[in-house]
Amino acid sequence: MKKQKSGLTFFQKVVKYRTLLLMCLPAIIFFFAFNYMPLPGIWVAFVRYNYRDGIFGSQFIGLDNFKFLMTSGKLLELTRNTILYNLVFILLGNFLAVFVAILLNEIRSKWFRKVSQTIMFLPYFISQVLVGFLVFNLLNYDTGFVNGVLTSLGLEKWQPYATAGVWPVILVIVYLWQQTGYNSVVYFASIMGIDGEIIEAAKVDGANGFQKILYIILPSLRGTIVILLLFALGGIVKGNFGLFYNVVGSNPMLYPTTDIIETYVYRSTLVDFNFSRASAVGLYQSVIGFVIVMTVNFIVKKIEPDYSLF
Amino acid sequence: MAKKDLDLMDSGAKIKLGTSDKIIRGFGYVFVTLYCICCIIPFIIIVSSSFTSETVIRAEGAQLIPKDFTLEAYNMVAKGGGIWKSYVLTILLTVVGTFLGLAIISMTGYALQRKDFPFRNAISFYIYFTSLFSAGLAPYYLLMTQTYHLQDSYLAVLLPLMMSPWLIILMKNFVKAIPHEITESGKIDGAGDMKIFTSLILPMIKPALATIGLFLALGYWNEWYQSSLFLSAKVDVKPLQYTLYEIVNKIDALRNSVAGQYVTLTDIPQQSVKMANAVLATGPIILLYPFVQRYFISGITVGAVKG
């Protein structure tokens, strides 16, 4: 059978597998239309775009758009913000997720566990718009819940929307609040997959609760943790646009600590209509992101070939 | 299997429970309870405040426990009426998009896991590559508005959310669990690939369809991003979450505009009305989700590492 297959020409294969090819066709067209068609448009990063001449008719200016972003220091600021936020999100996010998964596993009441998992999952299901509004409701100056409590205690009101320095903390908390329920699911599932007999044996040998976690559960999670961390690091230059855009809003006072690549590209595209600059930043991000993912995949392939992407 | 392990661990726990086990367990209950309270408080504040009168909110801020009970805000939303049209639009987009997306994703997922299909690696890579490298927002925006002319069209919201490489890989992984013999037996009976897919495979992947359908539906229900890119003020009815975005951010927009200084207080949506809108826009998904949660969990665990 194998011999017969390799003997077919490309055209014969197409004819023989036409039904399966047709089944893939809608998806092929979809990704062509929405993901491959925009690729030639990257050219806009190298021109001074104007509507009349279009992407390919506008004046070619080489790397000037990139030079501007470099010399103004904007690119550095955006990259720093994006990477630092993601690093904290990834490290704290996974730490908290493992922590919660281990504690959930210790809870024996099925009812309690089910209800608490459902509640922890809740923030993941709502739109980013609502997340932004929930935060606004807690923190805003006039009617925010926190300021309501502060006032009733006779304390002075707090103005986070005018204080750039507090936003890294707020954004990390909001991120953890929204994602931990989701992230802990994977870890909880791998704890559930641990052979119960190993834990039994450890107990017979007199292992206490801490030893059980330290020497059985954590080591058995190590593979999952490493893989999930590596893949998360692969996306380290991709910012969480929905979170930043909805929670922070367009508030220039807060840009120094909250402007990430995505928010800058969005503003340049939809507010300033500076497509060339937006595309320059976008291309820079795509290229760096691509290199990082390839590196991560290379590393994963070395340590755990089964999990590599390709 | 997980269930069996769980029972084993349960029985073990009953046999002996050391001091450290008790400490960890007690800490677990306390921590998880506190964490859950943190998860749910922002929601309670919104719901409570939506039933609180505007004067109380203005004077004392958003409320955890309503000081007074009034349906004022909801009456105002009902009078405004705009949100119901958004409801209808969002339900339509969700139903049509989820159905089309599921049809395409399941067909593709099935074809791509067939070991005898010679193009499967090439097509898989073609799809997967899109998540490795993208043109970025500006070229995408220019293509959608100037080449496809989708500005102010609902298609600009419906189409881009219909599938993703991740969902196709997830489907592929689900279908892989079905033995290849099923396809073989269909072939022996003389059925074509499409017939095998619709009458043999589809009935067997119902849980996968539920999981992926829910991810799609959630994407459509919570959609605001494509709307913010492509639906301008010329479009009267917008998807629910973007309508909510416009309502809750109106006050900022007014404040930033030059005309803002002449705007009277009545033009600014009241806090309680914003809260009522938020409750109405989110309510259905929160009421529904305890019932569908397990499908999401299976999706996350199947799709977590690969893809």
SS3 B115: coil
d(CA B226, CA B93): 13
- pLDDT the model gives residue A243: 94
- Sequence-distant (≥ 6) Cβ neighbours of residue A189 within 8 angstroms: B2, B297, B301
- pLDDT the model gives residue B306: 46
Q: Which residues of chain A have pLDDT under 50?
A: 1-4
SS3 B216: helix
Of B120, B84, B70, B110, the C-alpha closest to B281 is B84
Question: B28 and A108 in contact (C-beta within 8 Å)?
Answer: no
- Which chain A residues contact residue B136 at CB under 8 A? 38, 42, 265, 278-279, 281-283, 285-286
For residue A151, what are the CA distances in angstroms to A148, A158, B53, B68, B76?
5, 10, 19, 19, 29
Give B256's pLDDT tier (boundaries 50, 70, 90): very low
- pLDDT the model gives residue A172: 96
Q: Which of B9, B252, B293 sits opposite A196 (nearest CB)?
A: B9
* CATH number for the domain harbouring residue B109: 1.10.3720.10
A223-235: burial string, b at 16+ Cβ within 10 Å, e else: ebbebbebbbbbb
Is the model's pLDDT at B8 over the cut of 60?
no
Query: Does the beta-carbon distance from B146 to A116 stay under 8 Å?
Result: no
CA A249 to chain B, closest CA, distance in angstroms equals 9
- Which chain A residues contact residue B133 at CB under 8 A? 286, 289-290
Vertex B192 angle, CA B188 and B196, to 5°: 80
Q: Answer yes or no: is B235 within a domain.
A: yes
Q: Which residue has the tokens 């050391």?
A: B18
- pLDDT the model gives residue A192: 85
- pLDDT the model gives residue A283: 95
Q: Answer yes or no: is B300 within a domain.
A: yes
Vertex A217 angle, CA A211 and A223, to 5°: 135
Query: Does the beta-carbon distance from A36 to B62 stay under 8 Å?
Result: no
Q: Answer yes or no: is B101 within a domain.
A: yes
Q: Answer yes or no: is B5 within a domain.
A: no
Q: Answer yes or no: is B222 within a domain.
A: yes
Q: Answer yes or no: is B100 within a domain.
A: yes
Six token digits for residue A260: 């990430």
- pLDDT the model gives residue B16: 58
Lowest mean pLDDT among A53-57, A89-93, B96-100, B162-166: A53-57
Per-residue pLDDT of B116-144, as tens digits, reads 999 999 999 999 999 899 999 999 999 99
- pLDDT the model gives residue B261: 47
How many structural domains does chain B have? 1
Could you tell me which chain B residue has the CA closest to the CA of A292? B132
Per-residue pLDDT of A94-151, as tens digits, reads 999 999 999 998 888 889 988 998 899 889 989 999 999 999 989 988 888 898 889 8
- Maximum alpha-carbon separation in chain A: 85
Q: Answer yes or no: is B58 within a domain.
A: no
- In which domain, by residue range, is B224 found? 80-305
Q: Answer yes or no: is B27 within a domain.
A: no
- pLDDT the model gives residue B105: 97
- pLDDT the model gives residue B6: 46
For residue B87, what are the CA distances in angstroms to B79, B161, B233, B238, B243?
15, 18, 18, 9, 10
Mean pLDDT of all residues belonging to chain B: 85
Query: Does the beta-carbon distance from A144 to B61 stay under 8 Å?
Result: yes
- pLDDT the model gives residue A245: 94
Residue B77 vs residue B303, higher pLDDT: B77
How many other CB atoms sit within 10 Å of the CB of residue B199?
Answer: 11
- Which chain A residues contact residue B36 at CB under 8 A? 115-116, 119-120
Question: B70 and B51 in contact (C-beta within 8 Å)?
Answer: yes
